[in-house]
Amino acid sequence: MSSQQEGPRTKGKRPSIAIVLASLVLVLVLVSTAVVYAAMDVDWRVERVREGSASWPFLAVDVGGTLHMTYYSNGSLYYSTQTDDGWDDSVIVTGAVHWTAPVAFDADGDPHVCYQIAKTASDPNNYTLECAEWAGGEWTSSIVSADTYPGSESMAIGPDGVTYVAFVRLGDLICADDRNGSWDEDVLVDHPDAPRYILEGNTGSTSIAIDASGNVHVALGYNQASVIVFSDGPSDWNRSIILSSLLTFNSVSLLARDDGALLLAYYAYPTDPEQVGLWMATRTSGAWVMEPVSAARDLNSFTCSLTVDHDGAPVIAWYGSGLTGSHIMMSRQTGDGWESCVVIDSDDLSIDYRASTTVCVDAEGTILISVNRGAAEFVTDSVSFAEGLSAVRFLAVGYFAMGLLVWGIGVAVARRVLNRERKNGQG
**Which pLDDT value is given to residue 138?**
93
Digit-coded pLDDT (tens) for 226-261: 688 889 877 788 888 887 655 555 678 999 999 999
Residue 349 has pLDDT above 60, yes or no: no
Strand order in the sheet with 111-120: 103-105, 111-120, 123-135, 138-148
Can you say how many angstroms the Cα of residue 352 is from the centroid of all Cα atoms in its chain? 20
Digit-coded pLDDT (tens) for 82-131: 999 888 999 999 988 877 899 999 999 999 999 988 877 656 557 899 99
Q: What percent of the chain has pLDDT over 70?
A: 62
Mean pLDDT of 208-224: 86
Maximal C-alpha separation, the chain = 108
